[in-house]
Amino acid sequence: MTLPQEENFMRKISAEEKIEPKDWMPDAYRKNLIRQISQHAHSEIIGMQPEGNWITRAPSLRRKAVLLSKVQDEAGHGLYLYSACETLGISRAEMIEQLQTGAAKYSSIFNYPTLTWADVGAIGWLVDGAAIVNQVSLQRTSYGPYSRGMIRICKEESFHQRQGYEAILALAKGSEGQKAMAQDALDRFYWPALMMFGPHDSDSAHSQKSMEWKIKRETNDDLRQKFIDQTVQQIEVLGLEHPDKAIKWNEERGHYDSSDLNWDEFWSVINGNGHCNRQRIEHHVAAHEEGEWVRDAITAYNEKKRAKQTQDAA
């Protein structure tokens, strides 16, 4: 027997009405959302590192400014998503704790190192590009604050994607050395970008329930296919070689056929053993710990100020 509140919840879900923070929701729905939104927020924050790695070496002042403001946008996305997640009854401090202990995940893509300047372009183009495919779909997610966050964030991600593509284009049309740098970045980031959509639907632990509750609106494999299809022509325009030698148009399906991914690598990175997993978390922990005395100073200052105000009022 279903309770009236649960019935009402499911009615809203099927009617495409948004669930809002004060509405009743099943515990599992709340948990699932917290997992997904916090993971998304952590991805924005950890994602600042591989790109931030190039701020001090950006090859022109214009690119330096563009990169600075992109990384700043990502910090803003993280902040926005942490707030959206807080509406579900978890604090930012708890979420950060989960990130640092490994209880919460972030996108596996950020565990790959940025080795050349071209990687910054490749990230904007492919990583923000893949994120948009996923997030456009999430604009229709059933939880109101998350849906609104996605609408807002998507606009900026599209901007990042265009800037990244433009940066790669400049390299692809540049000197031999620049072009080689662009090809190398594409070769390294293409596959991990495809993995951003997660495991095959058949291996995805959270997918089915998420689809039922309309937290997720399209499956991992469908979204991945969309991204594969849209990227083929972009690579052609750049005049670069497609990293997937098996890529081939399939008239019948109306999609490109492609190689399967290296799922061993995927699971190894997800489970914390990628190239940069340890480095990323250590960086986050180190900055957080080094900042502790600053945060303490603010708390102490505000307390003193409040005490003084109370005293003055008395």
Partner 1 sequence: MSDQIKKALLEYTTRLGDDAVVLGHRISEWVSYGPFLEEDIAYGNVALDYIGRARMFYTYAAELANDGRDEDDFAYMRNDREYHNLLLLELPKGDFAYSQIRQLFADAYYTLVLPQLLHSKDERLAAIAAKGIKETKYHLRRSRDWVLRLGGGTDESHQRAQKALDQLWGYTHEMFDMDETEQLLADAGIGVDVSTLRDEWLAIVTEIVTNATLSVPEDSWAVRGGRIGYHTENLGHMLTEMQIVHRSHPGCKW
Phi-psi region of 218 (alpha: psi -120 to 50; beta: other; left: phi over 0): beta
Minimum distance of Fe ion from residue 215's CB (angstroms): 16
Per the CB < 8 A criterion, the answer to whether 108 and 43 are in contact is no
Phi, psi of 2 (to 5 degrees): -95, 140
Q: Is 297 in the site for partner 1 (CB under 8 A)?
A: yes
Structure tokens at 66: 């563009």
Return the residue of 94, 137, 283, 285 that touches partner 1, per CB under 8 A: 283
Minimum distance of Fe ion from residue 304's CB (angstroms): 37
Q: Which is nearer to Fe ion, 9 or 198 (CB)?
A: 198
Q: Is 117 in the site for partner 1 (CB under 8 A)?
A: yes
Minimum distance of partner 1 from residue 251's CB (angstroms): 40
CB atoms within 10 A of CB 240: 19
List residues near Fe ion by CB under 5 A: 44, 74, 77, 128, 131, 157, 160
Minimum distance of partner 1 from residue 116's CB (angstroms): 8
Binding mask 56-95 for partner 1 (x = CB under 8 A): xxxxxxxxxx--xx-xx--xx-xx--x-------------
- For residue 105, give the nearest of 32, 150, 43, 49 by alpha carbon: 43
Minimum distance of partner 1 from residue 62's CB (angstroms): 7
Q: Cα dist. 152→5, 60, 158, 161, 310 in Å?
A: 30, 29, 11, 15, 41
Minimum distance of Fe ion from residue 74's CB (angstroms): 4
How many whole angstroms from its chain centre is CA 22?
26
DSSP 56: G
Return the residue of 290, 310, 311, 314 that touches partner 1, per CB under 8 A: 290
Per the CB < 8 A criterion, the answer to whether 227 and 221 are in contact is no
Q: Which is nearer to partner 1, 28 or 297 (CB)?
A: 297
- The SS3 of residue 258 is coil
- For residue 295, give the nearest of 11, 99, 41, 92 by alpha carbon: 92
Q: Which is nearer to partner 1, 59 or 144 (CB)?
A: 59
Q: Which is nearer to Fe ion, 131 or 194 (CB)?
A: 131
Q: Which positions lie near partner 1, rule CB under 8 A?
A: 45, 48-49, 52, 55-65, 68-69, 71-72, 75-76, 78-79, 82, 117, 167, 170-171, 174-175, 177-178, 283, 287, 290-301, 304
